[in-house]
Structure 1
Amino acid sequence: MITRKITIGIPAGLEARPVAMLVQVASQYDSTIYIEDGSRKVNAKSIMGMMALGMGAGESVQVTVNGEDEVKAMEAIEKYLKSES
């Protein structure tokens, strides 16, 4: 299991389109992927759960990945969340 704190670099934050893209990235991996914002923990493969977070650019989330491809999954999630496009 890997846990990492990541600051969101996406200018729009985790709004509809960025959330849909994040779910697509997460869904490429067999590992379980959870994103927490302090009091809430949601499955990164759930579009409804991710939309409920409503995180903005510059805010930090904790990402936990567990499974056979956890290293690759964490790298992809971190790269996407830190992206500025």
Structure 2
Amino acid sequence: MTEQKVTITNESGLHARPATLFTQLAAKFASKITVSIGEKKADAKSILTVLTLGATKGAEVLISAEGADEAEAVAALAEFLTTHND
């Protein structure tokens, strides 16, 4: 399992359009990917569960992945959360 904590830098957090792009990126990987904020956990490939996190700018998110491409998945999603500004 590969994990990484990141802080969301996008002004609108992980809502609507950024969440859609995030889940589309996650879906490109074979690994099982989870994102969590505190006790709340979500399937990174499910827009509905990602939106339930209520992730805002400045929130610390833990990205966890398990599978054949877990390292690549975590790196790509962490980069998205720290560099994407939409």
Task: Please say whether Structure 1 and Structure 2 have the same fold, judged by a TM-score greater than 0.5.
Answer: yes
- Looking at structure 1, the residues matched to 14 and 62 of structure 2 have their Cα atoms a distance apart, in angstroms, of 14
Unmatched tracts of structure 2, length 5 or more: none
TM-score by length of 2: 0.94
- Looking at structure 1, the residues matched to 4 and 79 of structure 2 have their Cα atoms a distance apart, in angstroms, of 12
Question: Partner of 1:26 in structure 2?
Answer: 26
Question: Partner of 1:76 in structure 2?
Answer: 76
Q: Secondary structure at the match of 1:55?
A: coil
TM-score by length of 1: 0.95
| Percent identity for Structure 1 against Structure 2 | 34
What's the offset of the Cα at 1:10? 1.2
Indicate the RMSD between aligned Cα atoms, in angstroms. 0.9
Unmatched tracts of structure 1, length 5 or more: none
What's the offset of the Cα at 1:11? 1.4
Deviations 1:50-82 (A, max 9, x none): 011111111101110111001111111011000
